[in-house]
Amino acid sequence: MMISSSIKVCKINELPDGQSKCLRVNDKEVAVFNVKGKYYAIDNTCIHAGAPLNDGHIDEEKCQVICSWHGWGYDLATGKCVTHPRQDVFAGSYPVKILGDEIFIEIK
Ligand code: FES
């Protein structure tokens, strides 16, 4: 059975609107984004060639991050790669919750 655990990211005031933060969880990196006061967490490693997605451009209108190396886009809510011709290419995505003034992600 997989047990999920809550990992603290930071305090809310440490991740302003339009910015991202990367943290290492076990053997991977997760990027957490603030888009207009909503928080999203996806794998930080671009599926294409491994660029760190927290270095990408955040498109707040589309709620996407655009990889800084070759421009692949990811939906922050689902992790879906929106530029890949296949419809089933996703970066891992993780639930985010707020407790008090702190941000947490749920990792299985
Ligand atoms: S490494 Fe991200 S688009 Fe190429």
pTM over the 0.75 mark: yes
pLDDT one-digit tens code per residue, 14-46: 999 999 999 999 889 999 999 999 999 999 999
51 lines ligand 1 (CB under 6 A): yes
Return the CATH architecture of domain 5-107. Answer: 3-layer Sandwich (2.102)
Tokens 């930080």, residue located: 44
Residue-by-residue DSSP string for 61-73: TTTEEE-TTT--E
pLDDT in tens, 63-107: 999 999 999 999 999 999 999 999 999 999 999 999 999 999 999
| Spatial distance between the Cα atoms of 104 and 98, rounded to a whole number of angstroms | 6
**Residue written as token pair 């886009």:** 73
Establish whether residue 66 lines the binding site of ligand 1, counting it when its CB lies within 6 angstroms of any ligand atom: no
Give the count of beta carbons closer than 10 Å to the beta carbon of residue 22: 14
Q: What is the pLDDT of residue 108?
A: 81
Q: Which residue's alpha carbon is at the smallest distance from atom 4 of ligand 1?
A: 70
């053997």: which residue's tokens? 27
Residue of 93, 92, 19 lying closest to 56 (CA atoms): 19
Tokens of 37: 């006061």
Give the span between the Cα atoms of 30 and 24, in whole angstroms. Answer: 6
